[in-house]
Amino acid sequence: MKISDLNDIIVTFLRTYITHPDPHHDPTDNWIYMDYPRLDATFPRISVTLTSGSGEPAGIGDVVSPTTKQGQYHPITYDIDIWVKKGNVYEITIGGVKVKKGGSALRDYLADQVIKNIFYYKGSYFRDQKNVVDATLDAMASAPYNEDAELFQKTLTFTFTILREFSE
Amino acid sequence: MTLYVYKGWNAKIYKEGVLIGYCDSASVDIATGLDPYYEIGSRTPSYLTEGNQEITGSISKAWIDINYLNLVIGTGSLTEFDLTFKAYTSGAPWIYLYDCKFESGSLDIPQDGVLTESYDFRAKSVGVKMG
């Protein structure tokens, strides 16, 4: 698997499983993208940014199964940022109850959705369907409110491990 | 420039001529069973007598199938196999281990790591070559 494949897998997953908080949002209108958003982008938004990675031998002789193939594990770290603009306030139904969320509360709600879904689908989606060996949450951090851009931001740092075969 | 050492990614391990995948470590031990003979009045041995040769080793690999476990779970005669350890594709040392049997196997299931299986084996005879 190539790194560009993993980028696509993560973005496609989030687009599929994270619901936009606006119940009137057009589902064909994407709000989750690779790389940090421009300040004039529409919000709320989720961005996926590859920040670092490394390579680890998958076995002696880099031999993996099937035994004729060679490869290495790549643990690749991504920042998944949740961006909410001042004024993004939506009525969200949680457990049958409608709750108004905006600002940092909406940001934290969306962050929880990302964490919950990545962990819930770690086996069935990432490993079984997409051959992503592991997904771990390394850190989470909230940025101070950006007065100029009127943005609330939270960064979730995940490491996704893939097996990259040498022929790729 | 000539490289004088080999690293793990250079090595290859074969079981019955088939490469072993996802192997994370392996070792071979050869004991010559030397028996020293000490005479009265001497603190050093007068003779070193060769004893039984013992060839043992171990293999550890990711637990992805039951092929290896099947070689230790039987209650009848254990299956014999040959192992080959090779330092590089050519011009490097090889070691052949003939008529091996696994004498023990174990699984390691860590909470946050790769699931591995490891085996201790014993061989009847050994051969080496540069090739």
pTM of the model: 0.87
Q: Give the lowest-confidence range in A6-20, A56-70, B66-80.
A: A56-70
> Quick one: DSSP state of residue A7?
H
Chain B closest-CA separation from residue A10 CA (Å) = 22
Q: Is residue B37 in a domain? A: no
Whether ipTM tops 0.90, in short, is: no
pLDDT, tens digit, 9 for 90 and up, residues B113-122: 999 999 999 9
pLDDT of B4 above 90 = no
Is residue B107 domain-resident? yes
- E-assigned strand segments in chain A: 32-34, 45-53, 56-57, 63-64, 69-85, 89-94, 97-102, 132-146, 151-165
Q: Classify domain A3-165 at the CATH topology level.
A: STM4215-like (3.30.2000)
Chain A touched by B115 (CB under 8 Å) = no
CATH of residue B116 = 2.30.110.20
Amino acid B87: pLDDT: 93
Closest-CA residue of B relative to A56 is B9
* Within-domain flag for B75: yes
Q: What is the pLDDT of residues B84-125, one digit of tens each?
A: 999 988 889 999 999 999 999 999 999 989 999 999 999 999
Residues B52-85: pLDDT tens digits? 999 999 999 999 999 999 999 989 999 999 999 9
Domain count, chain B: 1
User: Would you say residue A110 has pLDDT above 70?
Assistant: yes
Q: Residue A66: what pLDDT? A: 61
Mean pLDDT value across residues A160-164: 93
Quick check: A61 and B10 CB within 8 A?
yes
Give the closest of B12, B13, B21 to A64, CB-based: B21
Contact B105, B70 (CB under 8 A): no
**What are the residue ranges spanned by the domains of chain A?**
3-165
- Residue B93 belongs to domain spanning: 9-28+55-130
3-class DSSP state for residue A14? helix
Beta strand A45-53 with A32-34 is: parallel
